[in-house]
Amino acid sequence: MSLNKKLILGCAQSDDNYGLSRNKKFEEVLQNAIKSGLNFLDTSPYYRNSSSIIKKINSKKNINIISKLKFDYDLKSNFEKRIRNDINDILSANNTKVLYGLLIHDSLLPLNSKKWKIVFKVLNEYKEKKIIKKIGISVYNTFELDNILKIFTPEIIQFPLNVFYQSFANKELLKKLKRQKIELHARSIFLQGSLLKNFKSLSPQLKIWRSEFLKWSEFLSDNKINALKASLVFALNNELIDKFVIGLDNKKQFEAVKNEFIKIQKNKKLLNNLNFNKLNSDNIILTDPRYWYSINNKEKLNYKKWIDLREKVLNGGMLLSKRPDQFLPAGWPTFYRKASGCHIWDINNKKYLDFSLMGVGTNILGYSNKSINNHVIKNINNGSISTLNSGLDKLLAEKLIKIHPWSKMATFSRTGAEANAIAIRIARIFSQKDEIAICGYHGWHDWYLSSNLSNKKNLDEIHLSGLSTIGIPKKLKGLTHPFRYNDIKGFKKLLRKNPNIGTVFMEVERNEKPKNNFLKQIRNITKRKKIVLIFDECTSGFRETNGGLHKKYKIYPDIAVFGKSIGNGIPITAVIGKKEIMIKARKSFISSTFWTDATGPAAALSTLKEMERIKSWKKITKIGRRIKMKWLKLSKKYKIKIKIQGIDALPSFSFDSNLNLYFKTFITQEMLKKKILATNSVYCCIQHEKYLNIYFEELEKIFSQIKKISDGKSIAYYLRFPVSQPGFSRLN
Ligand SMILES: Cc1ncc(COP(=O)(O)O)c(C=O)c1O
């Protein structure tokens, strides 16, 4: 591997404002690089002075130029002509007739289908004329790349790679890209020079990330290696990467890189002796220099609290849906001090209106409801648990049975997933069959996640994509089978193929409404085949009816499970069922200490009473309908296509665009400025009614901005924070 084959000289250093060093001698570096035989340059019209320096040299040398463009103009402003002008300007500014590569410098551009169509057409014309050899793209992370690959196959991909950001060191990924004949260029080997600096001399923006830089300096001293060498060794270790873009401040640095490069070639052993894994960081603010300056230090410190939490608490918390990265990395307030009604005060005492998840659906009556609190506090004062049993369990069972007369027995637990595990045990005992058909989300337990053992995408369509099966015993494979909502044919086929299915476990409705008597057909088939039908009402219960959503459809299961909302924020979940089924589990060991505390049933009894008194399901359904109507109105008014889903009290929408997640992030970012926690779904609570107009007013402003953004500058330009993370696969 020779220097000129593997290295590309990055020209960003021609710009005084780039990187951390203010004393750069780019022309000197360029002269030396060319003298040493290096003939690939990575430049861009956005790097000040770069083309004028290259131009001087290029008249005499045969240099391969890779340049970048954002195509960041308004669609209405003679878009196509401006693309051509910009490309022609690059050619003349660099004194060349041919570009080795033209990279799209806005990884979101291909996601804007209107613009992309035009850009792609023009670029291909230049390619056919052999003016551009390769059309490529520059990305910041693997998420951006995944999206792009769904749209087109670039001929060059340029990506960051350094000891802190190792996602592109993944051999499987690199192999996959090579199979598609993509030329791979890695950049940011020194993370804009920060990896080569002494911690003390780093700017305050970077000093916040003390622990990462400390780990790095410890790594260097433990391995008795200098930063330049270690950074290079890490990068060059990836033999599948074709070229490395190296930006250097002066001749001395260039010579040092050259010498290290030659030494590393001679001593390949070094490549294998260093273990860089522990330096890999999931701090997306540190590893993406776009955010070093766009995010202020207060916001960085907020994000640091989250990073620090992840060091002590597994995954930073026990519920995926509360991870701040799912809303607005570094911008989301993350920690609360107090919550009341539909307001939350963060740890800095800033008060927000919660138009987002409302405790992930736990508080239909609003946070910290006084009458429920008082009942619970009374029970705490009387001893929330004792050696003897609480009499409240019987009262709660009677109440739930009264609401659901088809059921005759109940049992209680404290989380939805464990209630579902109880339900499964009971159903298996009754049916004497191990296998289960599922449709929906039913919790984190082995029995549910095992569905992905036979096909890792099994749960993608019925719940979240990318749910891992690590830690799930392989022996569970084949016990849990997914089927799709409203696909009665698929359901029948599944039962035919798997005669050992004894339980059907499903949500009554989540995003789609039942079509063609889907629920009735399921009920009829399960009855005929003596299969236990369980409705998981953990999320749907008490949102549209006083009880399970199944009451609305008049389809009655054999067992129903309730969670989330029945204690208005105090942990309590319930399994109710037909007597002949429930009673079979008498000999089974289903037992747990904290299932017997009094606070849960006390909270549930007063919550059910209050919900019944004010008919909360009607109120939140009305609120949700108004929200859905407003979304629809905004979508029509601003001609932004959206898809609205969910039961009325739990509405959600998505933009019918490849940029969906970016627009969603934009909503959260803009709403936070108005002290509203918002995303693209609302768990309605009765308190929302009086604040709907505030929410609508602010949302309208955002929709009007989105309309402008769709045709104008890239959304990337308006996002100060990283895009919200899409799902589980990206969060680990
Ligand atoms: C339908 C359904 N079942 C089960 C669960 C799991 O409940 P928990 O998170 O309390 O374990 C949820 C949670 O979102 C759910 O929506």
Ligand 1 atom closest to Cα of residue 537? 1
Instruction: Please determine, for residue 728, whether its predicted confidence score (pLDDT) is greater than 60.
Output: no
**CA geometry: angle 531, 414, 615, nearest 5 deg:** 85
Q: Which long-range contacts (CB under 8 A, 24 or more apart) does 170-177 make?
A: 170/142, 171/238, 171/240, 173/142, 174/238, 174/240, 174/241, 175/240
Nearest residue (CA) to ligand 1, atom 7: 416
Q: Please choose from 564, 594, 650, 683 the residue to mutate so as to test ligand 1's pocket, defined by most ligand atoms within 8 A of CB.
A: 564
The burial of 22, by beta-carbon neighbours within 10 Å (0-12 exposed, 13-18 middle, 19 or more buried), is given as exposed
701/679 Cα distance (integer angstroms): 15
Coil, strand or helix: which one is 580? helix
155 located within any domain: yes
Q: Give the pLDDT confidence of 247-274 residue by residue, as tens digits.
A: 888 888 889 998 988 888 777 666 667 8
Residues 594 and 640 in one domain: no
The reply to whether ligand 1 has any atom less than 6 angstroms from the CB of 440 is yes
Q: Model confidence over 348-374: pLDDT tens digits?
A: 999 999 999 999 999 999 999 999 999
Residue 533 belongs to domain spanning: 370-377+410-614
Domain contains 106: yes
pLDDT confidence of residue 462: 77
* Cβ–ligand 1 contact at 417 (below 6 Å): yes
d(CA 155, CA 135) in angstroms, rounded, equals 6
**CATH code at position 577:** 3.40.640.10
For residues 239 and 339, membership in a common domain is answered with no
Q: Is the CB of 563 under 6 A from ligand 1?
A: yes
Among candidate residues 366, 423, 354, the one with its CA nearest the CA of residue 565 = 366
* Whether residues 624 and 586 fall in one domain: no
Residues in Cβ contact with 475 at an 8 Å cutoff, skipping those fewer than 6 apart: none
* C-alpha of residue 452 to centroid of ligand 1, in Å: 18
The rounded Å distance from CA 716 to ligand 1 centre is 34
How far away, in angstroms, is 443 Cα from ligand 1 center? 5
Q: How many A from CA of 444 to the centre of ligand 1?
A: 8
732 has a pLDDT exceeding 50: no
- Measured by CA distance, the residue closest to atom 3 of ligand 1 is 442
In a domain, residue 424? The reply is yes
Work out which ligand 1 atom sits closest to the CA atom of 539.
Answer: 16
Query: Are both 177 and 61 inside the same structural domain?
Result: yes
Q: Measure 418 CA to ligand 1 centroid, in angstroms.
A: 9
Give pTM, 2 decimals. 0.95
Judge whether 727 lies within some domain. no
Taking the centre of ligand 1 as the mean of its atom positions, its distance from the CA of residue 347, in whole angstroms, is 27
State whether the beta carbon of 261 lies less than 6 angstroms from ligand 1.
Answer: no
- Ligand 1 contacts CB of residue 577 (under 6 A): no
**334 C-beta closer than 6 A to ligand 1:** no
Ligand 1 contacts CB of residue 442 (under 6 A): yes
- Answer yes or no: is the C-beta of 421 below 6 A from any ligand 1 atom: no
pLDDT tens-digit series, residues 13-44: 877 776 666 667 788 888 888 888 888 999 99
Task: Please indicate, yes or no, whether residues 577 and 466 belong to a single structural domain of this protein.
Answer: yes
Question: Is the residue at 404 inside a domain?
Answer: no
Helices in 313-450 by DSSP H: which ranges? 358-361, 370-381, 392-403, 416-431, 446-449
How far apart are the CA of 88 and the centre of ligand 1, in A? 57
Selected residue with higher pLDDT from 622 and 726: 622
Judge whether 113 lies within some domain: yes
- Which of 271, 291, 311 finishes a domain? 291
Q: What is the pLDDT of residue 731?
A: 36
For residue 507 and ligand 1, the question of a CB distance below 6 A is answered with yes
Q: Per the domain annotation, does 53 fall within a domain?
A: yes
303 & 415 share domain: no
Instruction: Please choose from 362, 463, 538, 561 the residue to mutate so as to test ligand 1's pocket, defined by most ligand atoms within 8 A of CB.
Output: 538
Q: What is the pLDDT of residues 471-486, one digit of tens each?
A: 999 999 999 999 999 9
Contact 468, 496 (CB under 8 A): no
Give kind and range of the element (H or E) at residue 292: helix 290-294
Ligand 1 mean position to 217 CA, how many Å?
44
Number of domains in the chain: 3
**Are 170 and 57 found together in one domain?**
yes
CB of 509 sitting under 6 A from ligand 1: no
Q: Is the CB of 415 under 6 A from ligand 1?
A: yes
Mean pLDDT of the residues in the chain? 94
For the CA of 319, the nearest atom of ligand 1: 9
String of b and e for 700-724 (b: at least 16 CB within 10 Å)? Answer: eebbebbeebbebebbbebbbbbbb
pLDDT at residue 391 tops 70: yes
If asked whether residues 128 and 256 sit together in one domain, one would say yes
User: How high is the pLDDT of residue 13?
Assistant: 80
Cα–Cα distance measured from residue 728 to residue 221, given in angstroms and rounded to the nearest whole number? 36
Order of strands across the sheet that contains 435-439: 409-413, 573-577, 559-562, 532-536, 501-506, 435-439, 480-482
Q: Which atom of ligand 1 is nearest to the CA of 420?
A: 4
Q: Supply the CATH number for residue 303's domain.
A: 3.90.1150.10
Angle formed by the axes of helices 50-58 and 79-93, nearest 10°: 50
Residue partners of 316: CB distance under 8 A and separation at least 6: 306, 309, 310, 323
The upper half-sphere exposure of residue 635, i.e. CA atoms within 13 Å in the direction of its Cβ, equals: 15
Asked if residue 4 has pLDDT above 80, the reply is: no
How far is the centre of ligand 1, averaged over its atoms, from the C-alpha of 580 (Å)? 26
Mutation to probe ligand 1, out of 441, 462, 561, 575 (largest number of atoms < 8 A from CB): 441
Residues 477, 470: Cα–Cα separation, whole Å: 13
Ligand 1: nearest atom to the Cα of 540: 1
User: Is residue 536 in contact with ligand 1, taking CB distance under 6 Å?
Assistant: yes
Number of neighbours of residue 221 by Cβ within 10 angstroms: 8
**CATH number for 252:** 3.20.20.100
Distance 230 CA to ligand 1 centre (A): 46
| C-alpha 417 – ligand 1 centre gap (Å) | 6
Residue 646 and residue 452: Cα distance in Å, rounded?
25
* Domain end marker among 291, 308, 326: 291
What pLDDT sits at residue 28?
85
Report percent pLDDT > 70 for the chain: 97
Residue 150 lies in a domain: yes
List, for residues 77-128, the tens digit of each pLDDT value. Answer: 899 999 999 999 999 998 899 999 999 999 999 999 999 999 999 999 999 9
Inform me whether the pLDDT recorded for 60 exceeds 60.
no
pLDDT attached to residue 62: 79
Compute the distance from residue 33 Cα to the ligand 1 centre, in Å. 59
User: Domain check: are 176 and 87 in the same one?
Assistant: yes
Domain shared by 678 and 608, yes or no: no
Cα 706 to averaged position of ligand 1 atoms, centre (Å): 33
Q: Which of 614, 632, 663 is the last residue of a domain?
A: 614
Domain match, 562 and 424 both: yes
604, 659: one domain: no
